[in-house]
A and B are shown apart, each in its own frame.
Chain A
Amino acid sequence: MKPSKFNYYAADSIDAAISLIAQQGEDARFLAGGQSLVPMMNFRVAAPAALIDLNGVPELSDVRIDDDGALHIGAMTRTRRLETDSEIANANPLIAVAAAYVAHTQIRNRGTIGGSLAHADPAAELPGIALVCDAEIHLRGPSGARVIKAAKFFDGVFTTTLADGELIEKLYFPPWPEQRRWAFQEISRREGDFALVGIAAWFDMDASGAISDCRLAAIGAGDTPLLLDSAARTLTGSAPSEALFEKAAETVAGDIAPFDDIHASADYRREVAAVLVARTLKTAWERRR
């Protein structure tokens, strides 16, 4: 399974990358970690005429934590770094935990957060995390820079709203309150496999002990990662309890649109999404940072 021929260019800066891909035309692709693109090329289901390698663009791997705890993660940051960097985990523990579910160490050593988001597999963990954290995605392209919320970035199976010639420069994750409760759970056939379905959830509580803010996202439950707005509305304003979590879980089926594939049916995903919402919320509640 050998890939088709292509011309290879190694960019040394973001501007160079953007200019190279514009030159090479619509059959050119960016090469990030390669862990999704290269298998497709080896199967020849992808056959770009040119690859613009981003691995040599240092700015794309910058990680910065603001004083308020907001996290700026360069698009070429390796998933393995997200998993193991204690500063990132301190700033946003959900990212670190979810990153550990991405495939296996060897994949995480090369795969990148930008690559994962651009690939937009509906069952991938990092797009789900970006969505549940209300991340902002910073893009750069021939027309300049723009910022888009994760909720507007995913457009369909393997489809994003990236314009031609645009690349992801970095992700911005808002500050993560110290007392936030959070959890991530997924069901997969084997460790490291894509999720059959997975849930990421967090909630904050106010002084009275009621849930003041929360957000839940499902992966593997639709064409893109999906926000579970009904569950969030059910939770907001009430004190956490298993009964409340079950109520929230009951709303999940209405907010997702799972499909059948050979590993699981839509019915399975719908059912188990609800089960995982209840379990994730319970785990989140029991977690003390």
Chain B
Amino acid sequence: MSDRHTISLNVNGADYSCEIDARMTLADCLREKLDLTGTHLGCEHGVCGACTVLADGDAVRSCLMFAVQAQGMEITTVEGLANNGDLSPLQEAFRDNHALQCGFCTPGMLTTAEAFLTENPSPTRAETESAISGNLCRCTGYISIVDAILDAADQRRDAGSK
């Protein structure tokens, strides 16, 4: 074992194999090697949340994981949230509630919200605010994002799924 590794990754249900430096972060591997550029880099020190992906269903900072650590995990990025090109109820709720402007924080908001709603399908407003307190947004002022997540929770419950 050394500084270069050949790894297999499972991302959005598909298997990939790539050869990378040990030091390549999961975020960079997704963006550069797998061409999944929906996951964004906003700080590279674990504060802004723009790089959030799901690892075995848990929201994690992909800038703080090395790609080599993600082997054997099921990774979900923003590209994996839509259903065959149809926006998910969460994505629709973001659109309907104007929960994005520049869109740069949005992938991280969506993955974080996805994990949150899966664990807490009927959240309060305060719980929702807390759930995304680790995701920075400079454009919206957050209120429409919280509205969107609560709206999506309603939609998901009505649809009786997830």
- Contact between chains at A35 and B61 (CB < 8 Å): yes
- Contact between chains at A110 and B60 (CB < 8 Å): yes
Q: Nearest residue in A to B68 (C-beta to C-beta)?
A: A8
Tell me the residues in window 189-226 of chain A with beta carbons closer than 8 Å to chain B beta carbons.
190-192
Q: Nearest residue in A to B23 (C-beta to C-beta)?
A: A3
> Complex Cα distance A34/B69, Å?
11
B12 within 8 A of A: no
- Collect the chain B residues with CB atoms within 8 Å of residue A8's CB: 1-3, 5, 22-23, 66, 68
B58 within 8 A of A: yes
- Collect the chain B residues with CB atoms within 8 Å of residue A1's CB: 44-45
- Collect the chain A residues with CB atoms within 8 Å of residue B60's CB: 106, 109-110
Choose one: B1, B22, B112; the contact of A105 (CB below 8 Å): B112
A254 within 8 A of B: no
> Complex Cα distance A6/B25, Å?
12
> Complex Cα distance A41/B66, Å?
11
Tell me the residues in window 32-81 of chain B with beta carbons closer than 8 Å to chain A beta carbons.
44-46, 49, 52, 55, 58-61, 63-66, 68-69
- Contact between chains at B49 and A5 (CB < 8 Å): no
- What's the least CB distance linking B20 to chain A, in Å? 10
- Collect the chain A residues with CB atoms within 8 Å of residue B133's CB: 104, 190-192
- Contact between chains at B134 and A107 (CB < 8 Å): yes
Q: Nearest residue in A to B111 (C-beta to C-beta)?
A: A106
> Complex Cα distance A106/B45, Å?
13
Q: Using a Cβ–Cβ cut-off of 8 Å, how many residues does chain B contribute to the interface with A?
A: 33
> Complex Cα distance A10/B52, Å?
24
Tell me the residues in window 1-45 of chain A with beta carbons closer than 8 Å to chain B beta carbons.
1-10, 31, 34-35, 38-39, 41-43
Q: Nearest residue in A to B131 (C-beta to C-beta)?
A: A105
A281 within 8 A of B: no
- Contact between chains at A105 and B134 (CB < 8 Å): yes
- Contact between chains at A35 and B2 (CB < 8 Å): no
B130 within 8 A of A: yes
- Contact between chains at A106 and B49 (CB < 8 Å): yes
- Contact between chains at A6 and B22 (CB < 8 Å): yes
- What's the least CB distance linking B110 to chain A, in Å? 13
- What's the least CB distance linking B18 to chain A, in Å? 15
Encoded as 1 (CB less than 8 Å from any B CB) or 0, chain A from 83 to 120 comes to 00000000000000000000111110110000000000
- Contact between chains at B59 and A7 (CB < 8 Å): no
Given that A104-B134, A106-B52, A191-B133 are contacting pairs, would A6 and B23 also be in contact in the complex, using a CB cutoff of 8 Å?
A: yes
- Contact between chains at B134 and A35 (CB < 8 Å): no
B21 within 8 A of A: yes
A185 within 8 A of B: no
A75 within 8 A of B: no
- Collect the chain B residues with CB atoms within 8 Å of residue A186's CB: none
- What's the least CB distance linking B130 to chain A, in Å? 7
Choose one: B2, B44, B46, B61; the contact of A7 (CB below 8 Å): B2
- What's the least CB distance linking B76 to chain A, in Å? 13
A80 within 8 A of B: yes
Choose one: A4, A38, A43, A55; the contact of B64 (CB below 8 Å): A38
Q: Nearest residue in A to B62 (C-beta to C-beta)?
A: A106
- Collect the chain B residues with CB atoms within 8 Å of residue A80's CB: 58
Q: Nearest residue in A to B66 (C-beta to C-beta)?
A: A8
Given that A9-B1, A39-B45 are contacting pairs, would A106 and B134 also be in contact in the complex, using a CB cutoff of 8 Å?
A: yes
Given that A2-B23, A8-B66, A8-B68 are contacting pairs, would A42 and B45 also be in contact in the complex, using a CB cutoff of 8 Å?
A: yes
- Contact between chains at A106 and B112 (CB < 8 Å): yes
- What's the least CB distance linking A149 to chain B, in Å? 31
- Contact between chains at B3 and A109 (CB < 8 Å): no
- Contact between chains at B64 and A39 (CB < 8 Å): yes
> Complex Cα distance A9/B22, Å?
9
A169 within 8 A of B: no
A150 within 8 A of B: no
Q: Nearest residue in A to B56 (C-beta to C-beta)?
A: A109
**Residues of B that sit less than 8 Å from A by CB:** 1-3, 5, 21-23, 25, 28, 44-46, 49, 52, 55, 58-61, 63-66, 68-69, 112, 115-116, 130-131, 133-135
What are the nearest 4 A-B pairs in CB distance? A104-B134, A8-B22, A39-B45, A109-B58
Task: With A9-B1, A105-B59 given, name 8 new contacts (CB 8 A).
Answer: A1-B44, A4-B23, A6-B3, A31-B69, A38-B63, A104-B133, A106-B60, A192-B133
